Chains A and B, each alone.
Chain A
Amino acid sequence: MDNISIPVRRIDFDEKIAGKAKYTQDLHFEHMLYAKTLRSEFPCAKINSIEIPEIPKGYFIVDSKDIPHKNIVPIVYDDQPFFAEDKVNYVGEPILLVVGPDKTIILNILKNIKVNYTVLKPILNIKESEKLNKICAEYEITKGDFDSAVKNYSYIVEDEFNTGYQEHIYLETQSMIGHYDGDCVTVYGSMQCPYFIHNSLKQALNYSDDAIRVVQLPTGGAFGGKEEYPSLIGVHAALASIKAKKPVQLVFDRQEDIICSTKRHPSIINIKSYINDENIIVAREINIKIDAGAYAGLSNVVLQRIAFASSGAYNIPNLKIHAVAFFTNNIVTGAFRGFGGCQAIFAIEMHMENIANKLNMDSLELKNKYFLKKGDSSSTSGLFNYDIKLNQIAERIEQMSLYNKKREKFKENTEKLQGIGISIIMHGCGFTGNGEKSVIHTKARLKKNKDNTIEIYTAAAEMGQGVLTTLRKIVATTLDIPIENIKINYPDTLICPDSGPTVASRTIMIVGKLLKDIAEEMKKRWAEEEFEIIKEYKYPQNLSWDNDNLKGNANPEYSWGANAVEVEIDPITYESTIKGIWAVYDIGNAIDERIAKGQIEGGIIQGLGYGKLEVLQVKDGFIQQCNLTNYIIPSSTDFPKIESELISNPFDEGPFGARGMGELTIVGAAPAYALAVQNALNKKISRIPVTQEYIMELMNDKN
């Protein structure tokens, strides 16, 4: 294969198109039982007692007492139980499972279980939590000499932004099967991170490594929603099958999934830019608050990502960033594609536009002055080691969208409410800080067979993003052999080494790079008939990170881009219609252009859902939009085609010049849309989603 970017047929295409791929809900083991979860009905309550009716033979109750070892999900902090014991902290928290052969009887048993609660006063939002000082994580980042810099400013531009929850709505709900054979417990399911589940099983069961096995099945979308959450239910399914001594399937219905799975963090972000008398931004102060929900989960890492990205793709010499995640009794928030980047980039892009307006300047021109370049330092004072082509990206997005011309034209045309907005995007690829060195020790294995076929073994999960195809392509191209000679399958911890979780836009850049290195070694030893190589990823030498002071390279590398969105607003109905969407990205080099395009289009539309349609509110601890009738995600009629382009900027440390891209594609859509609406209405947007109701509110506000 010569040019790696030329698209190939996806390895999973044929079975998926014909409906033959077996997802967790499709798999049926002999004698398999079903499980359903009893959940907390209150955001905060003491459990006094649980009254369980007489259970027919063949049915089981599984709860915290069935956990032989620790009842704590291993994520970052030890605070979340697999099953609530004497207290519940959010609506939907699991208390026990009912397991058995007949789903109707299971539901009947569930109905007749009575939990006696003493209801306690919940913490319902960030404000209340702040008063009580219920801090989950807190970070302070400074860059340059903030205190001196702010002595010489002539004015301040200050904005505050609010962002809402977002629910993943992977089309396949959370699903697991536990299968215990007397020696080994196997968990099959829909997941991103087989080894997260493996670790959770170890923590709950205290079994030896070889008595635990996790196998990923075809997964119907994940988007971060199957990063840490499956650790909880993987253990549920395992415990159930150990107790029942039969395979047990646990599949969420949609409402249950929306009520109790993790969400994107709501945030409040306040940005103050200090500007001197030459109209130069000399310093910036950013305050970030997010709702972590009832348990810490990954909130501290998400918070770090928001903080690191909060000054955007701009080089501001003096920064002071304060970020806090608060505990509440709301739904636990967690990983979601973008992982803090969506909130951060929305806020900073709106803020930059507001500064430009204040300076009576075009926002692209203003942004241009501050674009990060190679040799600049990041918000955490880490050096950017590689070429950053933001100038070129900005120029291209301007040309494609005709931004300058349209802004002029739309201003003059007062008959129609039209607007166009551009967002400039960056996203860190790979684990935060030096996690690729200190937290995960990425391993991968390649095996050469006598017939010259190759087998790839990694823990990289295929959730639609095409990883089984792209990794296969990397190995085939490196070895210069036909792709059909490369075998790869969904990860199985029994035979696949831990190559880390499939998250953080890391797989191509880290696991792909490692596979390329191994394949190169294999190529040198090609004459050998049959052998295998296992290797660990080598963290690049030119990176450094001080985790105590949050200083250094906050991510191994970044990807860059810009989005433009054009809208027209109907002044009678307040409906906004998107007339055009443009996107330019620098992902180094694409491993497969068609798969890259799929990420771009899916990411942008999910980002526009976040910015325009997807309203999820929590009232008194209860989620208000619990099904797809009232939680609205984009359908085929909501948005027009996207015109997108990739800029070539091969990254030396990535395989075939590739950097990460999965998340980059979602972070810029909401701000580009919000800016388009802001420009159309000439009113400041301060929150997302920008719904029809919000537009009405803005238009009726005469100030």
Chain B
Amino acid sequence: MIKTKINFKLNGEEKIIYVDPLKRLIDILRDDFKLTGTKEGCGEGECGACSVLINNKLVNSCLVTSSLIEGKEIITIEGYSKTEKFNILKNSFEETGSVQCGFCTPGMILASEYLLSNNSHPKEEEIREALEGNLCRCTGYNAIVDAVMKASITGDGLW
């Protein structure tokens, strides 16, 4: 198999890997780097459980092949969970009861970050729209919508 050399930044660290150019980013993260906070819920871009940030954009990592990450900066839940913003979201997710089975949660957190970084004080409809690509079968979404709203208030000035 032909392997290509790829340089990228993962959670703030420079990485060089040699991989099949068609290998999915989700597999690189989970298999090669053992970053299993990125979940596979569908493998077809429909559920958002595999959400990561690439150059600060929210992306389904199951739809991205390794060749597309050359030179990019990737943030997964493992990296993001070390930030102050994460702590704000963590507290608001806790207060509203936004975590049940937890399988959608890392993706939801990164989707929330992506929204808040572009719109630090979103309205309810804007939150709903921003989370539309992230499915949750347990919570019915209301708690999560409230959590993002809360975070935007308690984290005022951070985003």
Contacts and interface: CB of A to CB of B under 8 A. Distances in A.
A637 B127 CA distance: 9
- 7 closest Cβ pairs, A-B complex: A19-B37, A16-B102, A464-B101, A220-B103, A605-B140, A464-B100, A26-B36
B94 interface: yes
Interface string B25-52: 0000010001011111111101101000
A601 B109 contact: no
Contacts of A655: none
B43 A17 contact: no
24 contacts: A17-B109, A18-B90, A19-B36, A19-B38, A19-B76, A23-B103, A169-B135, A171-B101, A171-B103, A218-B101, A222-B101, A464-B138, A598-B138, A598-B143, A602-B137, A602-B140, A628-B46, A633-B135, A633-B137, A635-B131, A635-B141, A636-B131, A637-B129, A637-B132
A642 interface: yes
Interface of A: 7, 9-10, 12-13, 15-23, 25-26, 28, 168-173, 218-223, 253-254, 463-466, 594-595, 597-598, 601-606, 627-629, 633-637, 639, 641-642
A25 B46 contact: no
A610 B77 CA distance: 32
Given A19-B78, A23-B36, 6 more contacts: A25-B40, A221-B138, A601-B139, A601-B142, A606-B137, A627-B42
A636 B144 contact: yes
Contacts of B143: 597-598, 601
Given A17-B90, A463-B101, A628-B44, A220 B144 contact: no
Nearest to A222: B101
B149 to A, nearest CB: 11
B61 interface: no
B103 to A, nearest CB: 3
Contacts of A170: 101, 103, 137
Contacts of A601: 139-143
Given A602-B138, A602-B139, A23 B39 contact: yes
Contact of A595 (B38, B46, B97): B97
A219 B42 CA distance: 16
Given A10-B99, A597-B97, A22 B42 contact: no
Contacts of A466: 100
Contacts of B47: 171, 254, 628
Interface of B: 30, 34, 36-44, 46-47, 49, 76-78, 81, 90, 93-94, 97, 99-106, 109, 127-129, 131-145
Given A629-B44, A637-B129, A19 B81 contact: yes
Contacts of A10: 94, 99
Given A19-B77, A171-B49, A642-B142, A254 B44 contact: yes
Nearest to A257: B42
Contacts of B100: 221, 464-466, 598, 602
Contacts of B49: 171
Contacts of B129: 636-637
A222 B138 CA distance: 9
Contacts of A12: 99, 102
Contacts of B39: 19, 23, 25-26, 171-172, 220
Contacts of B101: 170-172, 218-222, 463-464
Given A464-B138, A606-B137, A628-B47, A17 B97 contact: no
A566 to B, nearest CB: 16
A17 B42 CA distance: 20
Contacts of B136: 171, 636
Please indicate which of the listed interface residues B30, B43, B102, B143 has the most CB atoms of chain A within 10 Å of its own CB: B102
User: Which of B37, B93, B129 is the most central at the interface, judged by chain A CB atoms within 10 Å of its CB?
Assistant: B37
A19 B106 contact: yes
Nearest to A635: B132
A478 to B, nearest CB: 24
B44 A606 contact: no
B99 A17 contact: yes
Contacts of B78: 18-19
A393 to B, nearest CB: 21
Given A17-B102, A19-B106, A628 B42 contact: yes
Nearest to A15: B102
B4 to A, nearest CB: 17
A173 to B, nearest CB: 7
B46 A627 contact: yes
B95 to A, nearest CB: 9
Contact of A254 (B42, B102, B133): B42
Contacts of A13: 94, 99
Contacts of B76: 19
B46 A629 contact: yes
Contacts of A19: 36-39, 76-78, 81, 105-106
Contacts of B106: 18-19
B38 to A, nearest CB: 7
A172 B102 CA distance: 10
Nearest to A19: B37
Contact of A636 (B81, B99, B103, B145): B145
A171 B41 contact: yes
B137 A221 contact: yes
B97 A7 contact: yes
A168 B146 CA distance: 25
Contacts of A465: 100
Nearest to A254: B42
B105 A16 contact: yes
